[in-house]
């Protein structure tokens, strides 16, 4: 199947059209769009270079064959295709070569010429020493100690929550940034993550439910109120789980604190926080430096994972919500009649299992809360009995603009 770009175009014009097609897709981030435009312009300049094998009349089938692409990568790596002189012309980046190949794969799919393409393989990544299991245990304790220290602010609390979550789940920065409050289970014991293998097509994405440790749960309970305070100046809905701590600029426009973290911003924020912390804690008894790269945290993690649907099934959703409604009504009746603790305990357990099952199948928090409310479970205590963490309920309120009866209202 061909993409949206016009295959009658040739050379540089075709590359720019393919880049535009990739950039306009909803799944393409702003940073990836800039990379795609960069590669298209660079490859276009390669076609005008006397050492390249092709010219401006090159077709899509020719542009993405092994030899022309390898020649482009060689020229790009040497620096001759730069628009501005490099500070160190001899410096070569394996990371840049990796990005170029990732982008070329996206352009091939946008043009629909996968059958004719023959791109070189990705270079082997440089060895990165992962954090082994024992150091990861110590790392968790170090993060806990930092967050519990007197005067710990949002920076350390967010670092604790991110570090603990990565140690549990092994998620990539992009996967972490894509998480919303909807991806946190009602009891904050699991995280839904959309896995997108690097270089894979959008259709190859899949969903996993990843178990969270007690440390991650505690850290998220502490982070969510900090997150709510940071979003005081953010208008509209606010669903991102991880947000910025300070005002910034994006695409030339000022943005307030509390806006969604982007993968690059997340990596920078983690590195800054770790460097500062390592400097502050150096020489303290039992302290070992935290790794400055999140990649070192996630490598070697084997998470406890369960498969989940990428898109909820409508019929299954209706069945699960019927179960939630029935068990919510049963618990509500027991609470109203002030039945014994044993009966209520059993009803709470059944409802919590039903709520979790619906969330795992992709049913949104707002839908479930509406069902629970219709059954008479509306206030914080009643929803806590149904398995909902109060800190998450506050985040859902902020995301959806809902309100519930104030504390102390009649039950």
Is the model's pLDDT at 367 over the cut of 90?
A: yes
Is the model's pLDDT at 192 over the cut of 60?
A: yes
The mean pLDDT of 198-227, rounded to a whole number, is 82
Q: Tell me if 67 sits within 8 A of 117, measured CB to CB.
A: no
The mean pLDDT of 227-233, rounded to a whole number, is 86
CA geometry: angle 95, 107, 39, nearest 5 deg: 45
Q: Which residue has the higher pLDDT, 65 or 151?
A: 65
Give which of 39, 9, 11, 8 is closest to 23, Cα–Cα. Answer: 39
pLDDT of the residue at 401: 57
d(CA 273, CA 2): 46
pLDDT of the residue at 151: 63
pLDDT per residue as tens digits for the range 300-324: 777 889 999 989 999 999 999 999 9
Q: Hey, is 253 helix, strand or coil?
A: strand
Looking at every residue in the chain, the average pLDDT score rounds to: 82
Q: What is the dihedral of CA 82, 87, 88, 91, to 10 degrees?
A: -60
Q: Which residue has the higher pLDDT, 130 or 116?
A: 116
Which percentage of the chain shows pLDDT scores above 90? 40
The mean pLDDT of 28-49, rounded to a whole number, is 90
What is each CA distance from 116 to 8, 89, 103, 203, in whole angstroms?
Answer: 16, 34, 17, 21
Is the model's pLDDT at 298 over the cut of 90?
A: no
Window from 124-133, 186-195, 303-312 with minimum mean pLDDT: 124-133
The mean pLDDT of 267-279, rounded to a whole number, is 78
Q: Which residue has the higher pLDDT, 265 or 197?
A: 265
Please, what's the b/e burial string for 377-407 (b: 16 or more CB within 10 A of its CB; e: otherwise)?
A: bbbbebbebbbbbebbbbbbbbbbeeebeee
Is the model's pLDDT at 127 over the cut of 60?
A: no
Residue with the two structure tokens 């150091």:
135
The mean pLDDT of 17-24, rounded to a whole number, is 90
Window from 51-55, 153-157, 295-299, 388-392 with minimum mean pLDDT: 295-299
pLDDT of the residue at 308: 92
pLDDT bucket at 376, cuts 50 / 70 / 90:
very high
Q: Tell me if 396 sits within 8 A of 402, measured CB to CB.
A: yes
Q: Hey, is 153 helix, strand or coil?
A: coil
Tokens of 129: 């020493």
Is the model's pLDDT at 109 over the cut of 90?
A: no
Give which of 196, 174, 199, 51 is closest to 120, Cα–Cα. Answer: 199
pLDDT of the residue at 296: 75
* CB neighbour list of residue 199: distance below 8 Å, 6 or more residues apart: 101, 102, 105, 122
Is the model's pLDDT at 195 over the cut of 60?
A: yes
pTM: predicted TM-score of the whole model, two decimal places? 0.64
Is the model's pLDDT at 330 over the cut of 80?
A: yes
Window from 46-55, 141-150, 258-267 with minimum mean pLDDT: 141-150
pLDDT of the residue at 135: 56
d(CA 287, CA 274): 13
Q: Find the DSSP H helices in 282-313.
A: 294-298
pLDDT of the residue at 410: 34
Q: β-strands 206-211, 190-195: how paired?
A: antiparallel
pLDDT per residue as tens digits for the range 353-366: 999 999 999 999 99
pLDDT bucket at 128, cuts 50 / 70 / 90:
low
């Amino acid at each position: 199947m061909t993409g949206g770009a016009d295959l009658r175009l040739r050379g540089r014009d075709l590359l720019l059209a393919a880049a535009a097609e990739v950039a306009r897709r909803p799944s393409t981030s702003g940073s990836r769009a800039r990379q795609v435009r960069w590669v298209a312009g660079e490859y276009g300049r390669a076609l005008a270079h006397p050492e390249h094998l092709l010219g401006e009349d090159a077709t899509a089938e020719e542009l993405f064959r092994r030899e022309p692409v390898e020649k482009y990568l060689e020229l790009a790596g040497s620096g001759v295709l730069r628009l501005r002189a490099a500070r160190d012309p001899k410096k070569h980046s394996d990371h840049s070569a990796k990005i170029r190949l990732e982008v070329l794969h996206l352009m091939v799919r946008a043009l629909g010429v996968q059958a004719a393409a023959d791109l070189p393989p990705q270079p082997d990544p440089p060895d990165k020493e992962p954090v082994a299991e024992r150091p990861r245990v110590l790392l968790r304790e170090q993060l806990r100690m930092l967050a519990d220290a007197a005067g710990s602010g949002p920076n350390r609390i967010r670092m604790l929550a991110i570090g603990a979550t990565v140690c549990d789940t092994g998620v990539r920065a992009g996967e972490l940034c894509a998480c919303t409050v909807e991806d946190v289970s009602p009891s904050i014991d699991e995280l839904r993550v959309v896995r997108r293998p690097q270089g894979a097509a959008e259709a190859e994405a899949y969903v996993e439910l990843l178990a969270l440790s007690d440390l991650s749960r505690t850290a998220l309970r502490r982070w969510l109120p900090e997150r709510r305070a940071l979003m005081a100046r953010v208008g509209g809905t606010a669903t991102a789980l991880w947000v910025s701590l300070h005002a910034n600029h994006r695409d030339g426009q000022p943005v307030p604190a509390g806006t969604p973290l982007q993968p690059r911003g997340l990596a920078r924020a983690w590195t800054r926080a770790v460097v500062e912390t390592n400097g502050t804690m150096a020489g303290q008894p039992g302290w070992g430096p935290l790794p400055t790269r999140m990649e070192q945290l996630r490598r070697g993690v084997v998470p406890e994972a369960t498969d989940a649907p990428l898109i909820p099934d409508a019929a299954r959703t209706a069945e699960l919500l019927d179960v939630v409604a029935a068990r919510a009504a049963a618990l509500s009746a027991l609470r109203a009649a002030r039945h014994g603790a044993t009966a209520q305990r059993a009803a709470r357990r059944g409802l919590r299992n039903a709520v979790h099952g619906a969330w795992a199948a992709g049913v949104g928090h707002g839908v479930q809360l509406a069902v629970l409310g219709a059954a008479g479970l509306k206030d914080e205590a009643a929803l806590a009995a149904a398995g909902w963490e109060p800190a998450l309920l506050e985040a859902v309120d902020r995301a959806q603009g809902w309100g519930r009866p104030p504390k102390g209202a009649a039950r």
